[in-house]
Amino acid sequence: MSEKEVYSHERKRMVDQQMVSRGIQDARVLEAMLAIPRHEFVPQDQVRRAYIDAPLPIGNHQTISQPYIVALMTEFLNLKGHEIVLEIGTGSGYQAAILGYLAKKVYSIERIPELAERSRSLLHSLQLENIEVVVGDGSCGLPEHAPYQAIIVTAAAPEVPKPLEDQLSDGGRLVAPVGSRMGQVLELWRRDGKKLVCEKLTPVAFVPLIGEHAWLDED
Ligand code: SAH
């Protein structure tokens, strides 16, 4: 088997054992998880662990999320292909790549310039051209391209940052881990005109969102 075939086999196993068996059903989400080469998004010393059922370190005290959580959050966004999506917390760029596969355009904001630069050049080298990585404080959103049909926050916030609520389009969906620094609950918000409806989903653990509308410092 070539290296490429080995990884594609590992992805198939990841999808069957970690996603389908736990109830992920959206066929397009499963297709994206099969297509995007997760091993490209982890550091050299983690490549052999790229498809295990866990988050992994990516440097700068940050992590690439557990594959199942990526699939779950993506499924909650219910993407059909026409959406403009905002991601807060680019990290490795993996979640952004999955979103780019499923939506029309993705803007992803990262606070740490080295991570933003690395994921930008990786996404470019994989020819994933509908994803734009922006350096900045994602807790303020990205008003210049708003509104977004979908917003995903991939860092833990004490509450959903108000600017993100304002940048969500009518009928749009937002998914975010909300809680303390120690643990959070995944929340799904849906905008219906002026009204926002919130549904609490499942317990999760993310690294903190650091910014003006989140936590102000690293500890
Ligand atoms: N989605 C990523 C994992 C995110 S880890 C992936 O697929 O790999 C959380 C990321 O959020 C970290 O890279 C961290 O630097 C970033 N982050 C934290 N606070 C932020 C903020 N206010 N704005 C943008 N990014 C932020």
Correct CATH for 3-204 of 3.40.800.20, 3.40.50.150, 1.20.1740.10, 3.90.1300.10: 3.40.50.150
Per annotation, catalytic residue among 2, 8, 21, 65: 65
The pTM score is 0.97
pLDDT digits (tens, 9 = 90+) for 28-41: 999 999 999 999 99
CA of 107 to the centre of ligand 1 (A): 13
207 lines ligand 1 (CB under 6 A): yes
Q: Note the pLDDT tens digit of each residue in 117-168.
A: 999 999 999 999 999 999 999 999 999 999 999 999 999 999 999 999 999 9
CB-based contacts of 121, cutoff 8 Å, min separation 6:
none
Cis peptide before 37 (omega within 30 of 0): no
The pLDDT of residue 191 is 97
Q: Is 65 a catalytic residue?
A: yes
Q: Residue 16 contacts by C-beta under 8 Å, 6 or more apart in sequence?
A: none
What integer pLDDT is reported at residue 218 of this predicted model?
75
Q: Please report, for the chain, the start and end positions of each structural domain, with discontinuous segments joined by +.
A: 3-204
- 64 bridge partner residues: 56
Give the per-residue pLDDT at 139. Answer: 98
